[in-house]
Amino acid sequence: MGSSHISIHNKAFKPYLSAAQLDEAVRRLAARLSADYAGREPLFVVVLTGAFMFASDLLKYISGPCEIVFIRVASYEGTGSTGTVQEILGLREDVQDRHIIIVEDIVDTGTTMHHLLPTLQANGPASVEIATLFFKPESLQHELSLRYVALEIPNDFVVGYGLDYDGLGRNLPDVYVAV
Protein backbone atom coordinates (compact mmCIF):
# COMPACT_ATOMS: atom_id res chain seq x y z
CA MET A 1 0.00 0.00 0.00
CA GLY A 2 1.40 3.35 -0.96
CA SER A 3 1.93 6.00 1.68
CA SER A 4 0.66 8.81 -0.50
CA HIS A 5 -2.71 10.48 -0.39
CA ILE A 6 -5.08 10.18 -3.32
CA SER A 7 -7.78 12.51 -4.58
CA ILE A 8 -11.20 11.46 -5.87
CA HIS A 9 -13.67 14.12 -7.01
CA ASN A 10 -11.42 16.73 -5.32
CA LYS A 11 -11.71 14.93 -1.96
CA ALA A 12 -8.49 13.79 -0.27
CA PHE A 13 -8.03 10.25 1.04
CA LYS A 14 -5.14 8.65 2.93
CA PRO A 15 -4.14 4.98 3.10
CA TYR A 16 -6.17 2.99 5.65
CA LEU A 17 -5.98 -0.79 4.99
CA SER A 18 -3.63 -2.62 2.64
CA ALA A 19 -4.64 -5.39 0.26
CA ALA A 20 -2.72 -7.82 2.50
CA GLN A 21 -4.65 -6.72 5.61
CA LEU A 22 -7.94 -7.07 3.72
CA ASP A 23 -6.98 -10.53 2.46
CA GLU A 24 -6.15 -11.70 5.97
CA ALA A 25 -9.52 -10.49 7.31
CA VAL A 26 -11.40 -12.07 4.38
CA ARG A 27 -9.62 -15.41 4.85
CA ARG A 28 -10.52 -15.45 8.58
CA LEU A 29 -14.17 -14.74 7.79
CA ALA A 30 -14.26 -17.40 5.05
CA ALA A 31 -12.85 -19.98 7.47
CA ARG A 32 -15.60 -19.20 10.00
CA LEU A 33 -18.32 -19.40 7.34
CA SER A 34 -16.91 -22.64 5.93
CA ALA A 35 -16.89 -24.24 9.38
CA ASP A 36 -20.35 -22.98 10.35
CA TYR A 37 -21.99 -24.03 7.06
CA ALA A 38 -20.17 -27.32 6.45
CA GLY A 39 -22.56 -29.77 4.76
CA ARG A 40 -25.34 -27.18 4.28
CA GLU A 41 -24.80 -25.81 0.73
CA PRO A 42 -25.57 -22.17 1.60
CA LEU A 43 -26.87 -19.63 -0.89
CA PHE A 44 -24.63 -16.56 -0.92
CA VAL A 45 -26.60 -13.46 -1.94
CA VAL A 46 -24.07 -10.84 -3.00
CA VAL A 47 -25.16 -7.20 -2.82
CA LEU A 48 -23.79 -5.37 -5.84
CA THR A 49 -22.03 -3.21 -6.68
CA GLY A 50 -19.87 -2.48 -3.66
CA ALA A 51 -19.45 -6.07 -2.46
CA PHE A 52 -18.13 -7.47 -5.75
CA MET A 53 -14.41 -7.49 -4.80
CA PHE A 54 -15.05 -8.70 -1.26
CA ALA A 55 -17.42 -11.42 -2.50
CA SER A 56 -15.00 -12.58 -5.18
CA ASP A 57 -12.21 -13.00 -2.64
CA LEU A 58 -14.44 -14.40 0.13
CA LEU A 59 -16.05 -17.04 -2.05
CA LYS A 60 -12.71 -18.28 -3.38
CA TYR A 61 -11.87 -19.23 0.20
CA ILE A 62 -15.18 -20.96 1.02
CA SER A 63 -14.73 -24.72 1.26
CA GLY A 64 -17.65 -26.92 0.35
CA PRO A 65 -20.46 -26.52 -2.16
CA CYS A 66 -22.47 -23.31 -2.29
CA GLU A 67 -24.59 -21.28 -4.69
CA ILE A 68 -23.93 -17.63 -5.49
CA VAL A 69 -26.47 -15.09 -6.73
CA PHE A 70 -26.34 -11.32 -7.11
CA ILE A 71 -28.79 -8.59 -6.22
CA ARG A 72 -28.46 -4.86 -6.55
CA VAL A 73 -29.80 -2.24 -4.17
CA ALA A 74 -28.76 1.33 -3.52
CA SER A 75 -28.98 3.65 -0.54
CA TYR A 76 -25.95 5.86 -1.19
CA GLU A 77 -25.39 9.15 -2.93
CA GLY A 78 -22.03 10.87 -2.66
CA THR A 79 -20.51 10.27 0.78
CA GLY A 80 -23.70 9.59 2.72
CA SER A 81 -26.59 7.20 2.89
CA THR A 82 -29.83 8.53 1.39
CA GLY A 83 -31.83 6.60 3.98
CA THR A 84 -33.95 4.97 1.29
CA VAL A 85 -33.35 1.75 -0.58
CA GLN A 86 -34.12 1.19 -4.23
CA GLU A 87 -34.19 -2.46 -5.27
CA ILE A 88 -32.82 -2.62 -8.79
CA LEU A 89 -32.27 -6.33 -9.44
CA GLY A 90 -34.17 -8.76 -7.26
CA LEU A 91 -33.57 -12.28 -6.06
CA ARG A 92 -35.10 -14.85 -8.43
CA GLU A 93 -33.95 -18.07 -6.71
CA ASP A 94 -36.24 -20.05 -4.43
CA VAL A 95 -34.97 -19.48 -0.89
CA GLN A 96 -37.44 -21.80 0.87
CA ASP A 97 -35.56 -23.92 3.45
CA ARG A 98 -32.19 -22.56 2.26
CA HIS A 99 -29.39 -21.18 4.41
CA ILE A 100 -28.93 -17.64 3.10
CA ILE A 101 -25.80 -15.57 3.64
CA ILE A 102 -26.08 -11.97 2.47
CA VAL A 103 -22.65 -10.70 1.38
CA GLU A 104 -22.37 -6.93 1.89
CA ASP A 105 -19.46 -4.54 1.56
CA ILE A 106 -20.32 -2.32 4.50
CA VAL A 107 -23.01 -2.09 7.16
CA ASP A 108 -23.23 1.41 8.53
CA THR A 109 -26.78 2.72 9.06
CA GLY A 110 -28.18 -0.76 8.42
CA THR A 111 -30.82 0.60 6.04
CA THR A 112 -30.05 -1.83 3.22
CA MET A 113 -30.17 -4.88 5.51
CA HIS A 114 -33.26 -3.54 7.31
CA HIS A 115 -34.98 -3.55 3.91
CA LEU A 116 -33.64 -6.88 2.61
CA LEU A 117 -34.01 -9.10 5.67
CA PRO A 118 -37.84 -9.05 5.94
CA THR A 119 -38.14 -9.66 2.20
CA LEU A 120 -35.88 -12.70 2.37
CA GLN A 121 -37.35 -14.01 5.63
CA ALA A 122 -40.88 -13.84 4.20
CA ASN A 123 -39.92 -16.55 1.70
CA GLY A 124 -39.22 -19.21 4.33
CA PRO A 125 -35.45 -19.72 4.40
CA ALA A 126 -33.93 -22.06 6.99
CA SER A 127 -31.71 -19.16 8.13
CA VAL A 128 -30.51 -15.73 7.04
CA GLU A 129 -27.18 -14.24 8.11
CA ILE A 130 -25.15 -11.23 7.01
CA ALA A 131 -21.45 -11.43 6.12
CA THR A 132 -19.98 -7.96 5.81
CA LEU A 133 -16.50 -6.72 5.07
CA PHE A 134 -16.93 -3.60 7.20
CA PHE A 135 -19.22 -2.70 10.08
CA LYS A 136 -19.53 0.85 11.47
CA PRO A 137 -21.20 0.32 14.87
CA GLU A 138 -21.36 4.08 15.55
CA SER A 139 -23.58 4.61 12.49
CA LEU A 140 -26.07 1.79 13.03
CA GLN A 141 -29.69 2.99 13.07
CA HIS A 142 -31.47 -0.37 12.82
CA GLU A 143 -31.14 -3.37 15.12
CA LEU A 144 -29.31 -6.12 13.24
CA SER A 145 -27.73 -9.44 14.12
CA LEU A 146 -24.22 -9.40 12.66
CA ARG A 147 -22.41 -12.69 13.27
CA TYR A 148 -19.99 -12.41 10.36
CA VAL A 149 -18.01 -9.16 10.36
CA ALA A 150 -14.54 -9.08 8.80
CA LEU A 151 -13.56 -5.67 10.24
CA GLU A 152 -15.17 -3.07 12.51
CA ILE A 153 -14.24 0.48 11.53
CA PRO A 154 -15.04 3.96 12.85
CA ASN A 155 -17.64 6.16 11.20
CA ASP A 156 -15.27 7.43 8.51
CA PHE A 157 -15.83 7.53 4.76
CA VAL A 158 -13.75 4.87 2.99
CA VAL A 159 -13.09 4.00 -0.65
CA GLY A 160 -11.36 1.18 -2.46
CA TYR A 161 -11.73 -2.60 -2.67
CA GLY A 162 -15.18 -2.23 -4.20
CA LEU A 163 -16.31 0.84 -2.25
CA ASP A 164 -16.68 4.00 -4.28
CA TYR A 165 -17.14 7.73 -4.05
CA ASP A 166 -19.67 8.69 -6.73
CA GLY A 167 -18.54 5.83 -8.97
CA LEU A 168 -14.77 6.20 -8.58
CA GLY A 169 -12.30 4.27 -6.44
CA ARG A 170 -13.86 0.80 -6.58
CA ASN A 171 -10.86 -0.60 -8.45
CA LEU A 172 -8.31 0.32 -5.78
CA PRO A 173 -6.79 -2.81 -4.18
CA ASP A 174 -6.31 -0.99 -0.85
CA VAL A 175 -8.82 0.96 1.25
CA TYR A 176 -8.42 4.69 1.81
CA VAL A 177 -10.11 6.95 4.35
CA ALA A 178 -11.26 10.52 3.78
CA VAL A 179 -9.12 13.21 5.42
Residue positions annotated with a catalytic role = 108
Kindly write down the DSSP assignment for every residue of 36-88, as one continuous string.
Answer: HTTTS--EEEEEETTTHHHHHHHHHT--S--EEEEEEEEEEETTEEEEEEEEE
**Exposed (0-12), middle (13-18) or buried (19+): which is 60, by Cβ within 10 Å?**
exposed
What's the chain's length in residues? Answer: 179
The alpha carbon of 113 is separated from its chain's Cα centroid by a whole number of angstroms, namely: 10
* Residue type at 159 in one-letter notation: V
Q: How far apart are the C-alpha atoms of 134 and 153, rounded to whole Å?
A: 7
Cβ-Cβ contacts under 8 Å for 122 (sequence gap 6 or more):
none
